[in-house]
Chain A
Amino acid sequence: MIKKEMIAMLLAGGQGSRLGVLTTSMAKPAVPFGGRYRIIDFPLSNCINSGIDTVGVLTQYQPLRLNTHIGIGIPWDLDRNIGGVTVLPPFERNINTDWYTGTANAIYQNIEYMESFNPDYVLILSGDHIYKMDYEVMLDFHKKKKASVTIAVMPVPMEEASRFGIVVADEDKRITEFQEKPKDPRSNLASMGIYIFSWKTLREALIANADQPNLDFGKHVIPYCHEKKRKIFAYEFNSYWKDVGTLHSYWEANMELVDIVPEFNLYEEYWKIYTKSQAIPPTYVGNEAYIERTIVGERTGIYGKVFGSVLGCDVIVGEGTEIRDSIIMNGVRIGKGCLVEKAIVAEDVEIGDNVRLGMGDEAENDTRPDIYNHGLVTIGEKSIIPDGVSVGKNPVVSGRFTTADFPDGILPSGSTLIRGGEKR
């Protein structure tokens, strides 16, 4: 009989709507990060580096990019005879067909998948955080404490604790109380959304709560286990962990990578991050180029100047162009004589010659100031920006445009210019 001590279930079905146009056509875990990676590479690499070779990836929102990225798991050595990576989309059944209505509901709908590996423990992960973590150490903790559930937590500044799901633990690290976004937090340990369940506990809790609408781990399953007096422990994690849920935090996390010795170090040999790479050849730097504080993916050609930026693979930066504090994703072509400041340019965007991005005064975004802020210029994937236009701060641009779409060649700060949804 097939037997795996611990399997992982990776929740990758969420849209991540606070990333705006970056997640129009892909789920948040598929969003590129750090030049050549995608967000999901971090939990997947953590799995294989922790010795977990069986991972179910639950997809729902815009799964194409995730599916092609994961494939049969070759980049992570998750192509296995038994186990390996399996993409698990919602599916139709005889009765009660439903989408994944909540995090725990998605796991519940895949009980059969988990059962087929006869696991002792199940690790629940979400596909939207940047961190390196040895889940095996967490499992050792779980075993040592004879826990039913172990929740990974990290200390946050007390004044920010009210933004998180907070756990209160005794000296033995056993959790005594949960506080969801509390007004007066009694602890500063925030839940990271990473759980190890003993299989029996998880199975029982999922089946008992199966009829709960929008079944969620934080809201229903964990409180249920707590109520049933299961042993729930807090595993403290004290290393780099970043939620890249908003455009600004996403931009910040990328910018931190260009520090001399970044807090999140990708250059460590013993904990590699794996990804599917389309390109392997080196990057070419031209005669007129100048680069400073920048990380660059493969097969990129830099003929202009780049300062403090993160560049993906297959990017071209034309002569006389200057890029500052920006994220330029895979396959972006930037023409000559451009000036790009504080921009997030998604994959395969084409920017013409003499284009200016991030110019002028600050102005609040006219449609979604909650998403597009901090002066960032956001360009959705496959957009075309014609020659000579000037774009202000806090705008969002997505679609294929010509000069006619830019009156006087200007897009003022705070504008929203989205053209999409056309049938192909």
Chain B
Amino acid sequence: MRAIGMVLAGGNSRRIKELTKNRAVAALPIAGNYRSIDFALSSMTNSHVQNVAVFTQYNARSLTEHLSSSKWWDFGRKQGGLTIFTPSITDDNNLWFRGTADAMHQNLAFLKNSHEPYVIIASGDGVYKLDYAKVLEYHIEKQADITVVVHDMPEGFPADRYGCVKMDQKNRIIEFEQKPIVAPSNTVSCGIYIIRRRHLIELIEKCAEEDRHDFVSDIIVRYRDIKAIYGYKLDTYWSNIASLEDYYRTNMDFLKRDVRYFFMMDHPIVYTKVDDLPPAKINSGSNIKNSLIASGSIINGAVEDSLVFKKTFVGNNCYIKNSIILNDVYIADNTHIENCIVESHSTIRSNYYHKCEQGVDVISETGDRFLM
């Protein structure tokens, strides 16, 4: 592969509320066993990108833990592999990453010391599968300065969360508006870009001179008229975790057969950290319908239209519906949970009742745990 990869995983989102209190968006658990960054990293490794940098900043602990070994994505290489960059104090800098472009500028040595001619930039919060090699081919064919991967959203999507683009007939991007109030089109940027490495270094250095720090607004949007920026349409599943609703909906999408097969069965699959958990155990009195059950879980109650993540215990006579139970949750007997997300490591006492009437609630409870 003639490109290096950069995954921007430093962002925080207040729209995801409680769930990002203790973790970066890129570390959000998805579909039972993944974290959101797995999709970008797996696409990198499946496209044979061998040298990948991850930029982290906010709440990096759980993300760093997840990336504790690069084996899982086949990045345990002598040549290249996975590198994690966090802001660090140096002689000429004592600031945080002030934006995505600044993050790259502070680690410009990584870009300069590589020898691959292209750079793939991806965000760590997209749920998708993409062969970046195809995007690169397209980029070269179009003789583009920058290629932006775009996706068509369904009607009535909330445009104010996305970068909206308008393309001409040759797919050249003629308009790019960050988080507009009214969407100029239903095509949005997926936050995945391809650019020539030397060109990127030039642009980043220029940006830094002008004291600008954001890759999207200060490079893509600012240069959209003078650079040849093309859109590459990603027409398979794509979802961005930008709000609590997005998070809930994206997870629930995995109950659909086509989405599940696309990510979990169809080659190449998405990789994630291996936890060495025992098989899921389903005891008498349980009743599971249309749900995903991850390994290490023990189920004794009823679970319907829900996702049960790893190492979760569901007690006797429980009823869980339309909910997402994150990792290592203990749910005691006679509990009723409906339309909720239960935060990791929660302990729900027995006879607990929570039904969210509108939207979705996040439950985070701590308490003593009585082990079996």
Contact = CB atoms under 8 A, between A and B. Distances in A.
A327 to B, nearest CB: 12
A282 B307 contact: yes
Contacts of B308: 282
B276 A297 contact: no
Interface stretch (A206-214, A271-279, A410-418): A271-279
B358 to A, nearest CB: 25
Contact of B281 (A273, A285, A295): A295
B281 A280 contact: no
A293 B282 contact: yes
A34 B274 CA distance: 18
A283 B282 CA distance: 12
Interface in A270-310: 272-275, 277, 280-287, 289-299, 310
Contacts of B279: 34-36, 266, 295-298, 310-311
Interface in B200-237: none
A295 B276 contact: no
Given A36-B278, A281-B260, A295-B279, 5 more contacts: A36-B279, A267-B278, A273-B276, A285-B303, A292-B284
Interface in B271-301: 271-272, 274, 276, 278-296, 298
A177 to B, nearest CB: 41
Nearest to A306: B282
A294 B71 contact: no
Taking residues whose C-beta sits less than 8 angstroms from the other chain, chain A's interface range is 35 or more
B290 A286 contact: yes
Contacts of A299: 264-265
B219 to A, nearest CB: 37
A312 B274 CA distance: 17
A280 B272 contact: yes
What are the 6 A-B residue pairs with the smallest beta carbon separation, nearest first? A282-B32, A266-B278, A35-B279, A282-B294, A281-B264, A282-B292
A253 interface: no
18 contacts: A36-B278, A266-B278, A266-B279, A267-B281, A267-B296, A280-B271, A281-B31, A281-B33, A281-B260, A282-B280, A283-B294, A285-B292, A285-B293, A286-B289, A291-B288, A293-B284, A297-B295, A299-B265
Contacts, number: 107
B89 interface: no
B372 interface: yes
Given A280-B274, A282-B33, A283-B293, A294 B372 contact: no
B283 A283 contact: no
A334 B263 CA distance: 22
A369 B345 CA distance: 51
A287 B295 contact: no
Given A282-B32, A283-B292, A291 B286 contact: yes
Interface residues of B, number: 40
Nearest to A292: B284
Interface string B300-324: 0001000111000000000000000
B283 A260 contact: yes
A388 B334 CA distance: 43
A257 B32 CA distance: 23
A156 interface: no
Most B C-beta atoms less than 10 A away, residue of A274, A281, A297, A311: A281
B280 A296 contact: yes
Interface of B: 31-34, 71, 255, 260, 263-265, 269, 271-272, 274, 276, 278-296, 298, 303, 307-309, 372
A258 interface: yes
A287 B34 CA distance: 23
A405 to B, nearest CB: 31
Given A258-B281, A260-B283, A293-B284, A287 B293 contact: no
B316 to A, nearest CB: 11
A284 B292 CA distance: 5
A287 B293 CA distance: 14
B33 A280 contact: yes
Most A C-beta atoms less than 10 A away, residue of B272, B279, B296, B372: B279
Most A C-beta atoms less than 10 A away, residue of B271, B280, B296, B307: B280
Nearest to B272: A280
A261 B289 contact: no
B293 A282 contact: yes
Nearest to A45: B276
Most B C-beta atoms less than 10 A away, residue of A277, A280, A285, A298: A280
B282 A274 contact: no
A168 interface: no
Contacts of A275: 276
A131 to B, nearest CB: 16
Nearest to A283: B293
Contact of A285 (B31, B265, B278, B290): B290
Nearest to B264: A281
A303 to B, nearest CB: 10
Nearest to B273: A280
A371 interface: no
A147 interface: no
B68 to A, nearest CB: 12
Contacts of A287: 289-290
Nearest to A298: B295
A74 interface: yes
A315 B279 CA distance: 13
B274 A277 contact: yes
Contacts of A292: 282-286
Contacts of A284: 255, 260, 291-293
A289 B287 CA distance: 8
A278 to B, nearest CB: 10
Contacts of B276: 75, 272-275
Nearest to B290: A287
A404 B303 CA distance: 43
A97 B221 CA distance: 73
Interface in A307-323: 310-311
Contacts of A296: 279-282, 293
A310 B280 CA distance: 10
Contacts of A298: 33, 279, 294-295
Nearest to B305: A287
Contacts of B260: 281, 284
Contacts of A310: 279
B23 to A, nearest CB: 20
